[in-house]
């Protein structure tokens, strides 16, 4: 089952969409209820709740997507490093072999 927000955003398949909507709804509740308790103005509190939803959802969306991009970059670097280690292990280009060779000639 997929849930489409606004008819086009598939919350299940898009990374960070589900969490953004959930945090946005919590932010909406907190901002709207807080404004209502402070001012007792219902219509203005609803406006603040909608604004809180949008700000919280977009804020968490960008935060989550940035962290996801950083994670993918680190994962790609680790994968490339593992491939290079397998490729160069035991050859003259192996950095660990050079270190052990220099240490044995210094002694």
Report the alpha-carbon distance of residue 39 to residue 45 in Å, rounded. 8
- The confidence score (pLDDT) of residue 6 equals 62
Specify the pTM: 0.69
Q: What is the pLDDT of residues 22-58, one digit of tens each?
A: 999 999 999 999 999 999 999 999 999 999 999 999 9
Secondary structure of residue 102 in the 3-state scheme:
helix
The reported pLDDT for the residue numbered 9 is: 66
Tokens of 28: 């909406």
- What number of residues does the chain have? 107
- Domain borders along the chain are 15-87
């Amino acid at each position: 089952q997929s849930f489409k927000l606004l008819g086009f955003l598939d919350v299940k398949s898009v990374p960070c969409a589900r969490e953004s909507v959930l945090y946005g709804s919590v932010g909406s509740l907190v901002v709207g209820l807080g404004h209502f308790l402070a001012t007792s103005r219902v219509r203005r509190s609803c406006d603040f709740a909608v604004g809180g939803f949008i700000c919280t959802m977009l804020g968490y969306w960008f935060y989550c997507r940035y962290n996801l991009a950083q994670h993918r970059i680190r994962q790609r670097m680790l994968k490339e490093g593992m491939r290079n280690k397998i490729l160069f292990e035991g050859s003259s280009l192996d950095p660990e072999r050079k270190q052990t060779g220099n240490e044995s000639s210094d002694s």
